[in-house]
Amino acid sequence: MILNILPKTRTSNPVSKLIRPMFEGKTIKAVLGGIISMTSLASGLVFLPIDQSVVAANIQTLNTEIPLETRKSYANVLPAYTGVSQGFRFGHPGIDLTAPLGSKIYPIKEGVVIKVQYLKYDYGRAVWIDNGNDTVSLYGHMGKIFVNEGDTITTDKPIGEVGLTGKTTGPHLHLEVIKNEKNINPQPYLALGRVNKR
Ligand SMILES: [Zn+2]
């Protein structure tokens, strides 16, 4: 058997391989609890006692800055929301807030519209807003869009409406928050007001 002649080699550390997807799917807080100090989280380098290898370069860090900046709830962003149909997880870098077609969508924070785009097989009709402080928010699967690229927007005026565009099976807002070019879980920052029971 020719196939068995070559020696079996390990191409990567099996421990890291096992742990990495675990981290990506959950918040660091949920996985590690209080084991790792906030200082090491902030540095982006977390050394695990298991194999002493650095596995955390891409781990989502907890951010306390955004809630202080926005103080927004689901009700502020999407007053007509009816629930959270999908949370932030590996493969889904945002949250899905369900609401009837045509529900008004408000930005999480004031800012400048940096992109308005139609991506048929992805976000559909979508708006990207630079909220300042290295924070960008993305609103997907929209119907009507009331803003243009370059517009300065405020939280008291809707940027558009919930639609059924792009890769979606029902009307909802797909919301992403990107901080320092990394997607972070928007949910903790938006649930400060009315909280959905699910
Ligand atoms: Zn989504």
The pLDDT of residue 97 is above 50: yes
Who's near 143: CB < 8 A, 6+ residues apart? Answer: 101, 102, 125, 160, 161, 162, 163, 164, 165
Are 57 and 69 part of one and the same domain?
Answer: no
Domain that holds residue 42: 7-62
Query: Is it the case that residue 140 has pLDDT exceeding 90?
Result: yes
62 CA distance to ligand 1 middle (Å): 21
- Which pLDDT score, from 0 to 100, does residue 107 have? 93
Give distance in angstroms: CA of 10 to centre of ligand 1. 36
- Asked, for residue 134, whether it belongs to a domain, the answer is yes
- Rounded to the nearest whole angstrom, what is the distance from the C-alpha of residue 153 to the centroid of ligand 1? 23
Q: Within a domain: residue 196?
A: no
Task: Answer whether residue 197 is part of any domain.
Answer: no
Residue 96: which CATH number? Answer: 2.70.70.10
Check pLDDT > 60 for residue 40. no
Based on the domain organization, do 180 and 112 belong to the same domain? yes
Same domain, 52 and 94: no
Cα pseudo-dihedral 186, 190, 195, 198, rounded to 10: -10
Do 93 and 177 lie in one domain? The reply is yes
If you measure from the C-alpha of residue 124 to the centroid of ligand 1, how many angstroms do you get, rounded to a whole number?
A: 11
Residue 198 lies in a domain: no
Element counts in the chain: helices (H) and strands (E): 6, 10
Q: How far apart are CA 47 and CA 39, in angstroms?
A: 12
pLDDT at 7 over 60: no
**Distance between CA atoms of residues 61 and 182, nearest Å:** 10
Q: Are residues 43 and 93 in the same domain?
A: no
Q: Are residues 32 and 86 in the same domain?
A: no
Q: Are residues 91 and 128 in the same domain?
A: yes
195 assigned to some structural domain: no
Q: How many domains does the chain have?
A: 2
Does some domain include residue 1?
A: no
pLDDT tens figures, 51-85: 333 344 444 455 555 554 555 577 789 999 898 99
Task: Compute the average pLDDT of residues 75-96.
Answer: 91
